[in-house]
Amino acid sequence: MISKINKFLFYTLDNANLIQHIGESREKCIDSQLDENENRKFEKKTQALFDLINFDFQLEEYGKANWFIESSYEDCDMENLKSYLLSINQTETVNSITSFYKFYKKNIKDFEYLKPYPKDFEKKFDELTSKMESEGIIICKLNESIDVVADTIRRNPNNYCRDENGQYLERFFNGFLGYKANNGNLFKEYNFFLGKPHGLCLDYDIHTQNKKKLSVFNKGELVITLKQWDYDGALKYERTFDNEKIWNKGNISIVKDFRNDLMTNYYDNGNKRYEATNLHDTNKILRKWDENGNMID
């Protein structure tokens, strides 16, 4: 069985979340072009992705020594994970995992003693942790391996997954994609170039369906947010090359004029409160007004 992933998510998730999504996906399909053995290979790779991201999470959650005390490490097919990591040349990570497990087996009685949380748990745990550190037991470069795995998936997507319709994924997708939230409402509409968000990209409020944010991306990198809207659809932020405007509950609040190095602050009724120079230091006030529009000396 092959994991399915939403096409939009495939091109927008970060490395760890991409691996997790494929590894934990409950949506599966069978590729009729592959024989039973080839489909089984997909299952092994999917299990390896799941175990890799789960291993990383639980090490962060519990720590090295606690991994064998708190976690469900027995459920992790570590041999399959190591075999997969070796297939993508992650030898150093595999060696560190092997040392990690050897330490456990050598000290299994100490680990088992700690599982019921005896009265001297802290003392014994500290001793075990110190022993682990003195022997140089570390899980090295796990984050680097996660990055390598994600890069491998993106370069060869159809060796790992299919899109939500069970169709093959393009490595360098060009075009327009929308993404809907669990309630069926539109969440995002993005343009893509070479498999990355590029150009104008629009986010929506999943409850009201009002526009939420208009941004510009360049090959996956956020360049600028052009507009933002409140929950009720009222504009609250706008950015151009010349100025930046901020609204509060539908009323203009701040205008920054980049060309003239001038910031204007407004009262709720729309009258000017003050004008200041130096956009990074609003204490340099040039002019002030009261709420009725009268200039204050």
Q: What are phi and psi of 168, to 5 degrees?
A: -70, 145
Neighbours of 297 (CB within 10 A): 4
For residues 170-188, average pLDDT: 95
Q: What is the dihedral of CA 119, 121, 124, 127, to 10 degrees?
A: -140
Q: Both tokens of residue 228? A: 């933002």
For residues 129-149, average pLDDT: 84
Helix axes 142-155, 36-62, angle to 10 degrees: 150
* Assessment of whether the complete model's pTM goes beyond 0.85: no
Q: Name the residue among 262, 263, 261 with its Cα closest to residue 253.
A: 263
What's the pLDDT at 222? 96
Strands (E), the chain: 2-4, 28-29, 161-162, 175-180, 186-193, 196-204, 211-218, 221-229, 235-239, 243-248, 251-257, 262-266, 272-277, 285-289, 295-296
Residues 217, 201: Cα–Cα separation, whole Å? 7
Does position 280 have pLDDT exceeding 80, yes or no? no
Identify the bridge partners of residue 262 per DSSP, sorted by sequence position: 257, 277
Helix axes 142-155, 15-24, angle to 10 degrees: 70
SS3 50: helix
Does position 59 have pLDDT exceeding 90, yes or no? no
Contact (CB, 8 A) for 8 and 181: no
Q: 19 exposed, middle or buried (CB, 10 Å; 0-12, 13-18, 19+)?
A: buried
What's the pLDDT at 267? 95
pLDDT tens for 88-130 read 999 999 998 888 888 888 998 998 898 888 999 999 989 988 8
**Mean pLDDT over all residues of the chain?**
90
